[in-house]
């Protein structure tokens, strides 16, 4: 559940929406457990369900862009007792949330969740070259926005 919540947060930028997405994913996974193919990775199957729920919600709301994102300091993602690291992590997360959704989602899958480029391409249903382009552009934008943070 923490990984689903974290992925939901990356997609939505909102703690409450992330929790709702994680719960809806768990419910749908239980309802459709018979569709799970043994021998495949459960986490990837759950990520696919979460993405599907998110995209359906986006379509239903029609105007979602620019709404629901919260400043990192309000998201409560960092512990107050690790001040220096929190400042750096908060800055990176703020800049990452400001990236376009497709780029943000690709960066998250590869650099946070540890998917390979090929796995991310399959998961996002995009060509491998598109994954590589999004990652390169995302790294470049983060590096420009965070000089001295070691964003690459």
DSSP string of 119-143, one letter each residue: HHHHHHTS-HHHHHHHHHHHHHHHH
Cut 0.75: pTM above it: no
pLDDT tens digits for 24-83? 999 999 898 888 888 888 888 888 899 888 887 876 665 444 444 445 555 555 455 554
Q: What is the pLDDT of residue 73?
A: 52
Label residue 131 by pLDDT band (50, 70, 90). Answer: very high
End-to-end CA distance of the chain: give it in Å, rounded. 28
Residue 68: the pLDDT is 47
For residue 40, the 8-state DSSP code is S
- Count Cβ atoms below 10 Å from residue 27 Cβ, excluding itself: 12
């Amino acid at each position: 559940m923490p990984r689903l919540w974290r992925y939901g947060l990356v997609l939505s930028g909102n703690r409450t929406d992330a929790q709702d997405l994680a719960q809806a994913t768990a419910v749908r996974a239980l309802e459709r457990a018979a569709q799970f193919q043994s021998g495949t990775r459960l986490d990837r199957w759950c990520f696919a369900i979460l993405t599907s729920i998110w995209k359906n919600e986006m379509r239903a709301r029609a105007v979602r862009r620019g709404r629901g994102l919260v400043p990192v300091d309000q998201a409560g993602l960092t512990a107050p007792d690790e001040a220096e690291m929190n400042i750096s992590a908060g800055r990176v997360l703020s800049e990452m949330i400001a990236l376009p959704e497709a780029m943000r989602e690709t960066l998250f899958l590869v650099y946070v969740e540890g998917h390979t480029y090929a796995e991310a391409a399959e998961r996002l249903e995009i060509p491998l070259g598109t994954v590589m382009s999004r990652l390169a552009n995302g790294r470049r934008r983060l590096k420009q926005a965070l000089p001295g943070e070691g964003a690459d």
